[in-house]
Structure 1
Amino acid sequence: MLAALGGFAIIWSIVALGALLAHTGVLGASAEATLNKLTFAAASPALLFTIVAKGSLGHLVSPTLLASVVAIAAAIGVYLLVNALWLRHGLDAGTIGWLSAAYTNAGNLGLPIALHVLGDMTWMAPILLLQVGLLQPFALACLDASAARADGVRLSPARYALLPLRNPITVGILAGLLVNLTQPPLPSWLLDAVAMVGATAVPLMLIAFGISLRLDPLPGRGAHAGEVWAIQAIKLIVMPAVAWGVGRLLGLPPAGLMAVTVIAALPSAQNIFVIASRYRVALPVARDALFWSTILTVPVITAISAWLS
């Protein structure tokens, strides 16, 4: 587990760099917006294209995937119930809310934890492909539809269906899927260039997050604090508990049971913050949910690994 903490150290050191650059006046609020736009329009699509193009789609039929799917569905369902009974958000803010409650940091944090806690990074493949291939495009389609409605644009069913093709992240995912399925003879220099751009996605979004932490109100304050703590309970308690329970019902072996439980307890993903910034909706919720879940996941995963190992 000590080795896995290196993943958290990497994340927080880059976030601290962003906060330092904001504190010293090198970067300001305009830089935060620019970094988020660059990440959304270029870096994230390139990263997701590379992941999907090179990924093994066979991982999507992994026996552990069902437990993860049910855990994600439960987290989304609980958030939607909380929203219906208490928060009363519309489609846009509600989408950011359920993403924060159910969308896991399966990449730059999940991979080192999978290696050092679970002993095998391939445990992350099913959840990673599920999220980037299905969950994220669906969320972006919801946000695009909400934005069109807010602008007074009346969309036909055909135009609703085409909305995902106007989103660079979804286009990157679909292009990666097409390359994976067809295996065209693309030149290596092109793939290397795309991978190089994609490699900037995580550092850029973390620096932007650090700028936000320094310039915006401190996390845990404001009218949205109650929602943030509800999201923490769903993400770090409900979701791993459901994953463990379903894993037990499915008769997963000890290694598989521990894997689905640890994966469910990973914090909210950084790209939720980028998405919230791009659509200018529920940004404080996305930022604070990411901040607290990345801190609180450490004792949660430590307890899970000690219990199930």
Structure 2
Amino acid sequence: MGGVLEGFGVIGVVIGVGFLVAHLGIIGAESQLLLARLVFFVASPALLFSVLSDVDAVAVLSSRLVVAVVSFVVVAVIAATFARLVWHMSRGDATIATLCAAYVNSGNLGIPIAVYALDDASAVASVMLFQMLIVSPVAFLLLDQDRAGRRLSVFKVVTIPFRNPITVGSLLGLLVAITGWQLPSAVVDPIDMIAGMAVPGMLIAYGVSLRLGPRPGNGAPSQQVAVATVLKLVLQPACAYGCGLLLGLEGNALMAVTVVAALPTAHNIFVHATRYGRSQLLARDSIFVTTILSVPVVLLIVAALA
């Protein structure tokens, strides 16, 4: 359990730094937007390339991937139904709302939790691969269509994933993993250096938003945040646990898929929301609430299944 607390603690400190620099006037609203854009267009693609280029592409296509897909789809369908039919959101806002409820923080929180608490860094590889190569391109397609205000042509729809830097970085990383290419250090080292900016950058930008924007709870409607939180921290891990049992998982393997599903909403959803100007406050508040509440949820899962 110490590893779980350590992972959450590191994230909390970096977010606190963002809050502090905003409070001291070092970073303002324009700088926060610039930081978010830098993370989106430069650092995040480098990070995803770096991470995915080292994964075992065959190993991640296992029962863990099935669990990740099933638990995501169940929660996403319910969240999208609420967003469109109950809250009457636009396509773009509904996309962000769905991601708030179903998109797992598999990177900056999932990796340290997998290493420290599960003793298996590959535990988050399957969900990371699914989210980056399937969920993100579909979400970006919907967000781009919403921003365009019309249905895009077939050519634009087909090429959108290849024009999004995050998707391109993910695809190139997977290509390297599948082919087994050994890139020269002159290529890898700069990419790794830029990638190191992604996680602290998005966390600092998030901390700045907590200071400069409305206080959490005074922004997005509380009902929306509550629904996203319940779906994320209760239904998604429950689906993962049930699916894991049906697939014959047990012991640490079952605990791993359940813990990963119980991780909070990913911080990069706030970056995407800011980039597209859709439901920023809902993304920010959902991340804030699920990150805090996921600590006791994850500890409970580890205590029950370890």
Deviates most, 217-226 or 4-13: 217-226
Q: For 1:22-37, what aligned pairs fall within 5 Å after superposition?
A: 22-37=22-37
Q: Point out where structure 1 has 5 or more consecutive residues left out of the alignment.
A: none
Match of residue 139 from structure 2: 139
Assess if the C-alpha contact under 8 Å between 1:32 and 1:208 holds in 2: yes
Equivalent-residue separation in structure 2 for 1:228 and 1:73 (angstroms): 19
Alpha-carbon distance, 1:183 to partner: 4.2
Match of residue 16 from structure 1: 16
Match of residue 44 from structure 1: 44
Equivalent-residue separation in structure 2 for 1:176 and 1:119 (angstroms): 24
Assess if the C-alpha contact under 8 Å between 1:79 and 1:97 holds in 2: yes
Query: Is structure 2 residue 65 aligned with structure 1 residue 68?
Result: no
Q: For 1:152-171, what aligned pairs fall within 5 Å after superposition?
A: 155-171=152-168
- Number of equivalences: 306
State the TM-score, normalized to the length of structure 1: 0.95
Assess if the C-alpha contact under 8 Å between 2:80 and 2:95 holds in 1: no
Equivalent-residue separation in structure 1 for 2:140 and 2:57 (angstroms): 22
- Give the counterpart letter for 2:136 in structure 1: Q
> Structure 1 residues 247 and 194 mapped into 2: Cα distance closer, same or farther (>3 Å)?
same
Equivalent-residue separation in structure 1 for 2:25 and 2:182 (angstroms): 47
> Structure 1 residues 122 and 178 mapped into 2: Cα distance closer, same or farther (>3 Å)?
closer
- Give the counterpart letter for 1:145 in structure 2: Q
Match of residue 265 from structure 2: 268
Equivalent-residue separation in structure 2 for 1:159 and 1:120 (angstroms): 39
> Structure 1 residues 34 and 223 mapped into 2: Cα distance closer, same or farther (>3 Å)?
closer
Assess if the C-alpha contact under 8 Å between 2:14 and 2:200 holds in 1: yes
Alpha-carbon distance, 1:250 to partner: 1.8
Q: Deviation per CA, 1:43-64, whole angstroms, max 9, x where unpaired?
A: 0011111122222111332222
- The alignment yields a C-alpha RMSD, in angstroms, of 1.5
> Structure 1 residues 19 and 223 mapped into 2: Cα distance closer, same or farther (>3 Å)?
closer
Deviates most, 185-194 or 240-249: 185-194
Query: Is structure 2 residue 118 aligned with structure 1 residue 121?
Result: no
State the TM-score, normalized to the length of structure 2: 0.95
Q: Deviation per CA, 1:269-306, whole angstroms, max 9, x where unpaired?
A: 11101111111111001111111111000010111111
Assess if the C-alpha contact under 8 Å between 1:47 and 1:197 holds in 2: yes
